[in-house]
Amino acid sequence: MNKFWTRILKPRGALVKMLLLLTLLAIILLNASDQLEPVRAVLDNESFMVSIGQYQFSAYRIINVLLTLALLTWASAFLAELVERQLTHFPKMRAANRELILKFVQISIYVIAALIALDLMGLDLTSLALFGGAIGIGVGFGLQKIASNFISGLIMLMEKSIEVGDLIELSDGTYGFIRRTGARYTLIETFDNKEILVPNEDFITNRVTNWTFSNHKARVEIPIGVSYDSDIEKVREILLDTANSHPRCAPEPTPACYLRGFGDSSVDFILHFWVDDVENGRWTPQSEILFAIWHRFAEEGISIPYPQRDLHIKSPGGLDKVIAQQANKDAKDRSSDTDEPRN
């Protein structure tokens, strides 16, 4: 049903739009030249009158208003689409500026179309002020979330804090690229090709990490532990050489290697290096450097130890008692299984 009304209100295809426009224009011209006077005489009959309060509408007037509303709706959609196409011809314009101009033009077009429609219906706008205020309050409570999302979208466009193409991360762990900013939601495409629609209000009220807000640099961390028999100076040299030799490692800031502590079974290091293009991902360079570290460690005889634990039993007698009890229980279970009758 929604698709049906979308096709009616926003027809697609240049030929369809042209035919609809020509048809409506022909009807309006025929009406203006009094060619439809016989039809008007019939439809203006009192038997076809509809009364709403102090207003009376004839069938002819209702049909005329509906056709005019359709023309205004199609014309508004056509103008908005035309402006959107024209804005794409300015590649140097930022995406946020394009979206902001488009939203302003769309709102202006539809507001003007609504005012023209009310005027054509012969309604006195001043008499609707009180009634419109009451409706506005009621609709405001019901549509406050929609209004909040719409205003939040405008704020984002004006502040330019989040733009199309940015790599962002939300507080709930959603991670991906901004593909579109709409009046109600923002479309995020994740790395596994999922498209998530996030209400614009969430970007204003919650914490958002924008990885590409002012620059595209990002730091990658690799924690690693080596055995206590290793030459820690050699380990540090291998880690730095491996990072510097990777093509995606940024020359500035330079990679850094830190000794973080002496663990239960290993000497713990952490390697930091930067990439200039975080939008291309951090896992690939991290994985490739880990592979290179593994091979270098194998060549240099440096081992990565397994976790080791020493277990000290304070009362061996108590342990023997527990083992004996468990053995007796297992024996009873086996004997009870063999005593069960077979069918």
Question: What is the DSSP annotation of 252-281?
Answer: SSPPEEEEEEE-SSSEEEEEEEEES-GGG-
Question: Which has the higher per-residue pLDDT, 322 or 341?
Answer: 322
DSSP state of 125: G
Lowest mean pLDDT among 197-211, 261-275, 300-314: 300-314
Locate all alpha helices (DSSP H) within 88-192, ordered by sequence: 95-120, 129-142, 144-159
pLDDT of res. 189? 93
Strand order through the sheet with 256-262? 218-226, 267-275, 256-262
Which residues contact residue 206 at a Cβ distance below 8 angstroms, ignoring those fewer than 6 apart? Answer: 170, 171
Cis ω on the peptide bond leading into residue 253 (within 30° of 0)?
A: yes
Instruction: Give the domain 218-300 fold.
Output: Alpha-Beta Plaits (3.30.70)
Q: 314 falls in which pLDDT band (50, 70, 90)?
A: low
pLDDT of res. 188? 93
Taking the mean position of all CA atoms in its chain, how far away is CA 114? Answer: 31
Lowest mean pLDDT among 4-8, 142-146, 207-211: 4-8
Give tens-digit pLDDT for 16-58. 666 766 776 776 676 666 666 777 677 666 666 766 656 666 7
Strand duo 185-190 + 195-199: pairing: antiparallel
DSSP state of 207: -
Give per-residue burial for 239-261: e unless 16+ CB within 10 Å, then b: bbebbeebebbbeeeebebeeee
**For residue 20, is it left (φ>0), alpha (ψ between -120 and 50) or beta?**
alpha
**Rounded CA separation 166/179 (Å):** 8
Beta strands in the chain (DSSP E): 50-52, 55-57, 167-170, 175-181, 185-190, 195-199, 208-210, 218-226, 256-262, 267-275
Give tens-digit pLDDT for 269-301. 999 999 999 888 889 999 999 999 999 999 999
Pick the CATH number of 154-210 from 2.20.25.240, 3.40.309.10, 2.30.30.60, 2.60.40.1180: 2.30.30.60
**Rounded CA separation 234/327 (Å):** 52
**Rounded CA separation 198/204 (Å):** 12
Residue 143: CB atoms within 10 Å: 13
The residue with tokens 């706008």 is 125
**Rounded CA separation 146/123 (Å):** 28
* pLDDT tops 90 at residue 70: no
Give tens-digit pLDDT for 205-264. 889 999 988 888 999 999 999 999 899 999 999 999 999 999 999 999 999 999 999 988
Domain boundaries, the chain: 2-123, 154-210, 218-300
Same fold, 154-210 and 218-300: no
pLDDT of res. 325? 79
